[in-house]
Structure 1
């Protein structure tokens, strides 16, 4: 599920850049117990969350934030579905932490959307003279800024 050092090494040697990890189907056999099913699903979700968190540690990619949020939502849903299997005291702590982390990721995603949808178009529409580095306030006075 998680990328090993060897896998990272081969990826770097091949010059393959890291991409955000998307959700993938978790294969389950018909004879898998509910405990095994939960572990496999939870590990797939954690792999998605951690791979995207690692990518964000190295480079800023808005899609990685989005995919991390997807993994967190999937994990929160799995915890809810398999609630009867989990000890109440341990589950409550996990639910609290997942909710907190999802909230933090939501705020990061909101910022990315703001930058993409509001800031960049506004900056591109601004007159070139107003955007020029080192322009004095007197230079900007005629632009209405």
Structure 2
């Protein structure tokens, strides 16, 4: 397996080197809007610890990660009045992983509405900001002070 690259885009977002539309943060995890969303309200949840994917992540990081994923899944479902929520995670290129920092996709879903393709097209930043605000209000997140 290839070594973890501390300069991957999500590591830079965690360190504050690159911006993101933050939705939730705690001591162990960060959640932010996917800039190439496959559906309205598409959020990414990452552990702050370094790991490429599920194959090398420290098992101690999984509990806090999944706690945050559940919080965000409930939040996006309620914020967007969705019929369901898709939670996805990919491991290595052959599975579709394109950023090599473990991350979970949390996407609200509606009956009869297909996911958009992962085309590389970036969403309107103002739209992402308004969607993030809906989610933050729903989960009661006003910013992390850690």
TM-score over 0.5 for the alignment?
Answer: no
Structure 2 length normalisation: TM-score? 0.29
* Bigger RCO of structures 1 and 2 (CA < 8 A, at least 6 apart): 2
Structure with the bigger percentage of helix: 1
Query: TM-score normalised to the size of structure 1?
Result: 0.29
